[in-house]
Structure 1
Amino acid sequence: MKEELKRVREYLMTGVSYMIPIVVIGGVLIAFSIALSGVQEGQGAVVTNPFLKSMMDIGNAAFSMMVPVLAGFIAYGIADRPGIAPGLVGGVLANQLKAGFLGGIIAGFIAGYVARWVKSWKVPKNLRPIMPIFVIPLVSALIVGYLMIYVLGNPISYAMESMTAWLKSMSTGNAVILAMITGAMIAFDMGGPVNKVAFMFGSAMIAEGIYTVMGPIAAAICTPPLGMGLATLLAPKKYTKTEREAGYGALAMGMIGITEGAIPFAAADPIRVIPSIMIGSSVAAAVAAIGKVGDHAPHGGPIVLPVVDNKLMFIVAILIGTVVTAILVNALKKPVTDDISAEDEAVE
């Protein structure tokens, strides 16, 4: 059992290692384009300069590849080259289903194990040459595709509708409790369906002239990447070289409110990272709610400071949430083992 868990960790790290450059390209380019353009009240990040717009388009193109690359190379780690194509297909479907990086991880493991199973088939000698280029990817892609569409798709849609209705029912209750819930939702899948429900709820409240819902959400949005970036600086021995380098990108993305900057860390170690960032974001949101922070733009992070009510408490909330995240995750994580470090160097 312990050996199998170690192999699962290795498969995840393979996907994460190939995904990190994609996250850095997308996140940093989007961050620069927004930072140089700023945000507008009621509209969020509005990039109009043609050069900066092109920069944002390139960043968005890179981000669209993030989940497919993660899924494709998890499958590659499991089944070698025949796993890449079905893994990429599963990752694209995870994007289309708005399943986020967690959906990509599921797709990668399904594709990898199915491809490895098909590879084990006993076939006539004259069919062996076409197995890796035709039979394995075709059968694997069909299986992962149907499972993603018919098994994962409907539950995600139903869950999003249910969570939206639940948040609406809570909007008349205690503001701090609502903030803690939405803060945890923002961090849970960092741009995935749960995150999107909380974000769209806060954005809808802005349209109704209620800014104190988006305020805590804006603080929660930047806490995961800032917290993980700080964590790599405080305890570098607990992160691989690639993760330490990704930490600098996460700090830049956090300043501009790009929660996805924490995804590489969560994908590599979900058991320790996801609870830590959820607690950190929940704390940040709660402090912002107590301070009656309001955000007039559907965006988050320090970049929205010009359109925030009670700016001092907004900064305090982000700082507290960031420190809580870093302390928690570093308390849970252990120093990286030699085999993971060696694997990290090999990928480079």
Structure 2
Amino acid sequence: MALDGKVLVTGGAGYIGSHAVLALLDAGYEVVVVDNLVTGFAWAVDPRATLVEMAVEDPRIGEVVAEHRVAAIMHFAGSVVVPESVSDPLKYYRNNTAATRALIESAVAAGVPHFIFSSTAATYGTPARVPIAEGDPTQPINPYGMSKLMSEAMLKDVAAAHPLNYACLRYFNVAGADPQGRSGQSTLGATHLIKIAVEAAIGKRAHVGVYGTDFDTRDGTGVRDYIHVADLAEAHVAALDWLVAHPRESVTLNCGYGRGFSVLEVLDAVDRVTNRTLDRRMEGRRAGDPAELVADNAAILSTFDWAPKRADLDGIVRDALAWERHLAESGR
């Protein structure tokens, strides 16, 4: 069953959104991007897509939906830094929860039938067990996770009242860059470990901070499930295909590989790939960081026509490093 219209991608000029745009276009979908370009970059949007500079909560988004015959929305726009959410929670409830509510309202008013939401493993908080399954308790320990969980709840309630189905995809740690070098993580001051480490590897940073060495993990540092951004983007295309084929069903699924790496193990991988040793600075824990987040990914593997193609830590690092070098060479 084909989608009758275009896909609107919010935040499509950002890191994950730009990769989803590439995956959609490569799969033959027509795409319109809505992004306010506060943290995104117009140059990151593939020229095959249409870019509209606008905030997702702008009521004129309904005009964009009508003009472009939008039949599905992929919603990536929002704020994503956990420590910042602790120090500035209202920003996260505005940019994530309130803005998502406005976007869902626009979708319902325009009769958009399919909605894919960029959620997070932070909805689980400190998990009672690892790996984490979708049915495990959702008890966020930071406003970022709560802002996303509230948005999930809104989608569930709206889908029960209106002809809309949805997929909430709970990401674990997203990393890497497009293997073809078309996009990557370009945000200034990014807080993602692999991004920071490859910046340090090419001299953009003097050292890498290791935040927390006393967690209850195998080496005392935090453990995360790292998923390649290109695999994640392809999971979104698979989600869209599933929603179109199952118009009366919705789903909430983890996006991860089911294997975790500690901070020190990731830095070891960067050392291997770059053949150099990063300067590591041991620091105290950051607010809102759980010890270990690893996905049980059985549900997504059995539900979607999707399987990871790039589940190799060194490969993720190589792609991230290649993109970082490209940014440096292009002056970006």
The alignment's TM-score, normalised by the length of structure 1, stands at 0.26
The alignment's TM-score, normalised by the length of structure 2, stands at 0.27
Structure 1 or 2: more helix by fraction? 1
Structure 1 or 2: more strand by fraction? 2
